[in-house]
A = this chain, B = another copy of it.
């Protein structure tokens, strides 16, 4: 089968391998140095999970960056608890750029308790940066990239970049950013977007990253593009309706999804990053950016 073989070799954790015939007594798959062990999986708190149910029956799950964008996450939680997004829509899908959702009219009154102009959270607070590289750059990418002199991962699985003076969450594919008007607006968090194209790193340090999509990304990335200005759908009928956006902690226990993330502060994740950066011969090693490393999560039974 003719495929970009790299996908097989390097994306094993993010995409299933090709089916192969299984012999009667199949040997156990070997454990690789880059494989996670059970202790690497850590719980995502239920109030850091945002569950968006679309009118087409699809579900998108966002992990909230509660530590890094506390004011915006507080707003998002308030909006979710008020049912503010229920009945709203994904109203903008621009090719090779973003999908965006919320209230396209911008006239819906904010939920009580939402800060209209939260503090700018474009960069990571100095108090968190002071925790040092063990927390903020638990793993580093080998090389600088076009957008930063250093990049890597927080211990709890967030992609970050920095220039030695500031550190920030990166707008990788699937990041959830806060749309906003011109400064001093920082965006309330009611209008959210996710990059669906090649790169949105040029939004780094200029928009607040409030989370990342950990399940159902394709239900946004494969939506029809709009040719209208900026990818805003020209007619309401093109929009994808939102039935509800809820915090997992507000969903009845019986139907509440539970997730774990793969921690990065261990030699297994380090080996995984190196595998992305340097492939084995005959593959020519090409390097990798911080956005090229899949950050694994898994659904778990309660």
What's the number of copies of this chain in the assembled complex? 2
| A146-B143, A172-B198 given; A2·B179 CB < 8 A | yes
Q: Which B residues are in CB contact (< 8 Å) with A255?
A: none
In contact, A95 and B199 (Cβ under 8 angstroms): no
Q: Which B residues are in CB contact (< 8 Å) with A193?
A: 4
Shortest CB distance A127–B (Å): 20
Question: Is A114 an interface residue, CB under 8 A from the partner?
Answer: no
A93, A145, A174, A206 interface centre (most CB from chain B within 10 Å): A206
A141 to B202, CA, bound (A): 14
Binds B, one of A37-45, A64-72, A220-228, A259-267: A220-228
In contact, B291 and A202 (Cβ under 8 angstroms): no
Chain A interface, >50% SS class: loop
In contact, B202 and A292 (Cβ under 8 angstroms): yes
A193 to B195, CA, bound (A): 21
In contact, B282 and A7 (Cβ under 8 angstroms): no
Could you give, for residues 6-22 of chain A, a 1 whenever the CB lies within 8 Å of some chain B CB and a 0 otherwise?
11101100111111000
Q: Which B residues are in CB contact (< 8 Å) with A230?
A: 1, 3, 7-8, 15-18
Question: Is A25 an interface residue, CB under 8 A from the partner?
Answer: no
Question: Is A85 an interface residue, CB under 8 A from the partner?
Answer: no
The 6 closest A-B pairs by CB, nearest first: A173-B198, A146-B289, A2-B179, A218-B225, A2-B191, A205-B284
Name A's B-contacting residues (CB within 8 A).
1-8, 10-11, 14-19, 92-98, 100, 102, 106, 122, 141, 143-148, 172-174, 177, 179-183, 187, 191, 193, 195, 197-207, 217-218, 221-225, 229-232, 276, 279, 282-284, 286-289, 291-292
